[in-house]
Amino acid sequence: MTPRRLAPVLLCLALALPAAADSPLAVRLVRAAAAPDTVTIALSGVIEAAQSVPVGFRSGGRIVEIAVDVGASVTEGQLLARLDETQARATLEAARAQLAAARAQAEQERQARDRLAGLTARGAATQAALDAATQDLLTARAARDQAEAAFDKARQGLADTRLTAPVAGIVTDRRAEAGQIVGAAQNVLTLAQDGLREAVFHAPNAATLDSLTGRDVVLRTLNGPPLQVAAVISEVAPMVTPQTGTVAVKARLRPGQTPPGLGAAIAAQVDLPQPAGVALPASALVTAKGAPAVWTVDETSLRARLSPVEIARFSETEVHLSAGVLPGALVVAVGAQLLYPDRKVAPVGAPQ
């Protein structure tokens, strides 16, 4: 084809391109609906003691016996573990001997002072001698008091080689074994104290979680015999757990019920208040310059406009927006890939 013949063809194509580019794009529209003001969230967790008590020896040493295992029920004062008492017993015997000697010395000085007091009264001894004897008695009594304190400390040191339960409960954790060297106050066992129990959940992070505190909730067991118990949400953790990205929520079981066993898996449902916003199909969400947006459509001109939005949360099929779109607005749900600002659209079917 010669250049003379080619020119009209190119001109026709050039004139046709804008018309084709501006031809209405077939899309499916939805009408933005106001999101519900509450959402029901499912929680799962476990039953724990309302109070856990870590226990350890008051002094360090080598463990020679751990008398209980995880899951064992213990009574207050029951022996839990023992340290090697060889050194503690030797210290006690030495302190006992020192105390006996100090008491004997104090008694001897008392008798000497009383004897001199009688002689001084009859003029057979000087006041200086009596004063010296009195000072010796005071020194001996001070030594005796010091020996008594050392004996009491040694006796307590021997007692501290025995670890006993401070409360009645159930052993939930064991962190040491026989033969292990432990330090003073190092956690050896953990007891779940008898009494009130609580459910511990891990809820998805939401700004309105704090509103759950004080809310009544019904717990149901997930394994074993079916059981439902009443509880009240007692605590919402102020910080997100870094490992899971969730927030710990605790619910205290109400008294007067048969509680699930410690460690039992339980579930509950709670209604969580939600901020005002709209709900759209997840397919309506697009990205503009790295930020979330949707294509809204003017009802009169049927031309598209890119609207930045703020996402409140996702559900299984919807995205909930807290800003950017008002209830009742027309939004492109399907077919947004070829849209650009001010392009005309052709709705497929009635807006849902």
Condensed to tens digits (0 to 9), the pLDDT of residues 133-146 reads: 999 999 999 999 99
319: containing domain: 23-36+277-347
Quick one: pLDDT band at residue 260, thresholds 50, 70, 90? confident
Return the pLDDT at 115: 93
Within a domain: 55 = no
Of 191, 208, 243, the domain-final residue? 191
200 and 246, same structural domain? yes
Q: Tell how strand 310-314 and strand 318-323 pair up.
A: antiparallel
In a domain, 217, yes or no: yes
* Same structural domain, 118 and 130: yes
Domain end (from 242, 258, 273): 273
- Between the two ends of the chain, the Cα-to-Cα distance in Å is 52
pLDDT band at 194 (very low <50, low <70, confident <90, very high): confident
148, 267: one domain:
no
Q: pLDDT > 70: what percent of the chain?
A: 93
Q: Is the pLDDT of residue 212 over 70?
A: yes
Confidence of residue 87 (pLDDT cuts 50, 70, 90): very high
In this structure, the answer to whether residues 254 and 199 fall within a common structural domain is yes
Q: How far apart are CA 333 and CA 329, in angstroms?
A: 12
- Same domain, yes or no, for 242 and 329? no
Same domain, 32 and 138: no
Last residue of a domain, one of 141, 159, 177: 159
Quick one: 204 and 242 in the same domain?
yes
Task: Please state the pTM of the whole predicted model.
Answer: 0.56
Quick check: is 262 in a domain? Answer: yes
What is the amino acid identity at position 173? D
The arithmetic mean of pLDDT across residues 202-209, rounded, is: 76
**Does residue 113 share a domain with residue 229?**
no
| H, E, C per residue of the chain | CCHHHHHHHHHHHHHHHHHHHCCCEEEEEEECEECCCEEEEEEEEEEEECCEEEECCCCCEEEEEECCCCCCEECCCCEEEEECCHHHHHHHHHHHHHHHHHHHHHHHHHHHHHHHHHHHHCCCCCHHHHHHHHHHHHHHHHHHHHHHHHHHHHHHHHHCCEEECCCCEEEEEECCCCCCEECCCCCCEEEEECCCEEEEEEEECCCCHHHHCCCEEEEEECCCCCCEEEEEEEEECCCCECCCCEEEEEEEECCCCCCCCCCCEEEEEEEEECCCCEEEEHHHCEEECCEEEEEEECCCCCEEEEEECEEEEECCCEEEEEECCCCCCEEEEECHHHCCCCCEEEECCCCC
Q: Could you tell me the pLDDT band of residue 317, with boundaries at 50, 70 and 90? A: confident
Tell me how many domains the chain contains: 4
Between 241 and 133, name the one with better pLDDT: 133
CATH number at residue 206: 2.40.30.170
Is residue 297 situated within a structural domain?
yes
